[in-house]
């Protein structure tokens, strides 16, 4: 148990000069491990489950930026709306509508990333290129004032085939590069890359990586 500080320092040294934000993925890991990484300087943490995120955030410093990186269900948005920093992985209009509603209820504007399906795997969530364009249009027309689309998120295939992983990231980067015409925020966020593929993701243009096991150890 315990965190891998050596790995944290190594990864930070790679990311900082490149201007890439590290989201430390702490799902299933105890509050004490998160606090250790916090004490080492880390401020952005990612969680996949609403209840777990709510419980942990109550026991940790309030200047942590909490990223929700799991599949968010509409009926649970209200629990994280008061404090969540960025919701990755949003892939449908009804969810955006609910995030907007709960954000307004809290007097906040909540930043979201749209998840694009780039892997070959069937089980992953995410939008096709066509669905992405349609959703952006739909959101713009709805004129929501409680949410901001800040960029895109994607997960590559879990594969040893690095060419394939690279080309999936490149596909997402290409879509991302065509976004600024439509979305007026600077800088936009491209969240791609995990423990096994973050180096490739950065080479392909990622500016936010979500890393868990390299920092906290394998999850059982």
Ligand X SMILES: *Cc1c(COP(=O)(O)O)cnc(C)c1O
Residue 7 lies near ligand X (rule: CB under 6 A): no
d(CA 24, CA 44) in angstroms, rounded, equals 6
Taking every pair of Cα atoms in the chain, the longest distance, rounded to a whole number of angstroms, is 49
Q: How crowded is residue 44: how many other Cβ atoms within 10 Å of its Cβ?
A: 17
Residue 195 lies near ligand X (rule: CB under 6 A): yes
In 3-state terms, what secondary structure has residue 68?
A: strand
Q: What x-and-dash track marks residues 39-78 binding ligand X by CB under 6 A?
A: ---------x--------------------x---------
d(CA 113, CA 145) in angstroms, rounded, equals 16
Residue 196 lies near ligand X (rule: CB under 6 A): yes
Residue 95 lies near ligand X (rule: CB under 6 A): no
Closest by CA to 78, choosing from 57, 55, 98, 64, is 98
Q: What is the DSSP string of 100-140?
A: HHHHHHTT--EEEEEEEE-SS-TTS--B-HHHHHHHHHHHH
Residue 211 lies near ligand X (rule: CB under 6 A): yes
Question: Which one of 5-13, 72-80, 181-189, 211-219 is the stretch in contact with ligand X (CB under 6 A)?
Answer: 211-219
Q: What x-and-dash track marks residues 8-37 binding ligand X by CB under 6 A?
A: -----------------x-x----------
52 or 104: whose CB is closer to ligand X? 52
The residues of the shown chain that bind ligand X, judged by CB under 6 A, are 25, 27, 48, 69, 155, 194-196, 210-213
């Amino acid at each position: 148990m315990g965190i891998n500080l050596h790995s944290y320092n190594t990864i930070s040294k790679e990311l900082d000069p490149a201007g890439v934000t590290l989201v430390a993925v702490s799902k299933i890991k105890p509050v004490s491990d998160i606090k250790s990484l916090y004490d080492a300087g880390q401020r952005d943490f990612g969680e996949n489950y609403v209840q777990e995120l709510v419980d942990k955030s109550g026991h940790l410093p309030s200047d942590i930026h909490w990223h929700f990186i799991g599949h968010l269900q509409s009926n649970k948005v209200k629990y994280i709306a008061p404090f969540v920093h960025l919701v990755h992985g949003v892939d449908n209009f009804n969810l955006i509508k609910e995030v907007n509603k709960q954000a307004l209820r809290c007097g906040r504007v909540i930043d979201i990333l749209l998840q694009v399906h780039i892997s070959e795997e069937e089980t992953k969530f995410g939008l096709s290129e066509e669905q992405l364009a349609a959703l952006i249009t739909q959101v713009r027309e709805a004129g929501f004032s409680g949410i901001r689309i800040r960029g895109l998120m994607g997960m590559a295939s879990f594969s040893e085939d690095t060419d394939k992983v690279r080309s999936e990231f490149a596909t997402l980067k290409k879509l991302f590069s065509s976004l600024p015409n439509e979305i007026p925020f600077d800088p936009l966020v491209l969240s791609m890359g995990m423990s096994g593929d973050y180096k490739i993701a950065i080479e392909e243009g990622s500016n936010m990586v979500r890393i868990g096991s390299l920092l906290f150890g394998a999850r059982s």
